Amino acid sequence: MIAILSDIHANMEALSVVLERCEKLGVTDYLCLGDVIGYGPEPLAVGRIAQERFSVSLMGNHEEALVTGKHRFNPHAAQAINWTRQQLQGDAALWAWFQARKPFAVKKHLLMVHGSIYDPVHDYVDEPENPIESQQMIDTLNKDFSGFDLCFAGHNHTPFMATTMGTMTPHDGHRQFRIPKGHKAYICVGSVGQPRDRDVRSSFATLDGELLTFHRLPYAIETTQAKIRKAGLNEFLAERLGEGI
Ligand SMILES: [Fe+2]
C-alpha cells in the first residue's frame, strides 16, 4: 500500500496523526506531492521527516520560493517563506535536499505532480463547477494523459477525483473508489496541513492495487495555531486552520 501526501506546510501535529494512521494501515511507501514547508511553524522537524521517510518528495511552489526567492505570494505567504528560510539555515544537508527536489515523478502507471500535468509546480487542477468544465476535464484525460493512467496532484488543498466518466468528491459516507486497470484519472489528494475545503481535518490518500481511499483525520489544531502565533507568523495562517479555508 502506498500513501500519497501533499501540502503538509510544516504542520507537525497533522503530519504525526497521518503517519501514525499510515503505519497502522501497513503503508510501505510514502509519496509526497510538494509543499512540505511554507505557512506552518515547524519547517525543520517536518522537513527532516520528509527527507528521511518519503521515497518521492516533489518541488512544490513553496519549495521553489524557498530555494530561489522567486514567487508571486501574498504578504502572509511571503513572510512565512522568508521566516522558513531562516529556520532552515543551520541544516545544510536539508537545504541541499530541498534544492534537489524535482517537479514531477513517474512510477509505473502513476504520474505525480504538485500542480498539473501542464505546469507541475504552479498550475491548479480546479474541481469542475459546471458540465462544460466537466467535459473539458474529460477531454484533458482522454487527450493528454499518455504514458500514464493516474495523475496524483496537490496544490489545490482540496480532495476530489476526475475520471473520464465524470468527477467524484469523497465524503464520510463514501471514501473508497476502485479504479479499473487502464482507466485515466486525476486524483487530488487534498492537504495534510492546511485543508481548504471547509473541512478542517487532515486529508491524504492511499492506493492499494486498484483501491483508492481518501482519508480525513482530526488533529490538534489549537496546538499548531499556538505555534504559528508564537513564531510571529500572520494570525490569518492560524485562523484558516480552524476554518478549513
Ligand atoms: Fe500548498
Cα(151) to centroid(ligand 1), Å = 17
- Residue 44: per-residue pLDDT: 98
Centroid of ligand 1 to alpha carbon of 139 (angstroms): 26
- Angle, vertex CA 102, rays to CA 98 and CA 104, nearest 5: 140
Are 193 and 9 in contact by the 8 Å Cβ rule? The answer is yes
Domain encompassing residue 102:
2-243
What separation in Å is there between the alpha carbon of 92 and the centre of ligand 1? 24
Q: Quote the ligand 1 centre to 93 CA distance (angstroms).
A: 23
Tell me, in angstroms, the distance from the centre of ligand 1 to residue 57's CA.
Answer: 13
Separation of CA 6 and ligand 1 centre (Å): 8
- Work out how many domains the chain is built from and give that number: 1
Compute the distance from residue 158 Cα to the ligand 1 centre, in Å: 10
Q: What pLDDT does residue 60 have?
A: 98
Strand partners, 105: 112
Can you tell me the distance from the alpha carbon of 10 to that of 196, in angstroms, rounded to the nearest whole number? 16
Ligand 1 centroid – CA 72 distance (Å): 13
Instruction: Give the whole-number percent of the chain exceeding pLDDT 70.
Output: 100
CATH number of 196's domain: 3.60.21.10
Task: Read off the pLDDT of residues 95-104 as tens digits, 9 standing for 90 and up.
Answer: 999 999 999 9
Position 15 scores a pLDDT of 98
Residue 48: which of 147, 168, 57, 39 has the closest Cα? 57
Tell me the per-residue pLDDT of 21-58, one tens digit each, with 9 for 90 and over: 999 999 999 999 999 999 999 999 999 999 999 999 99
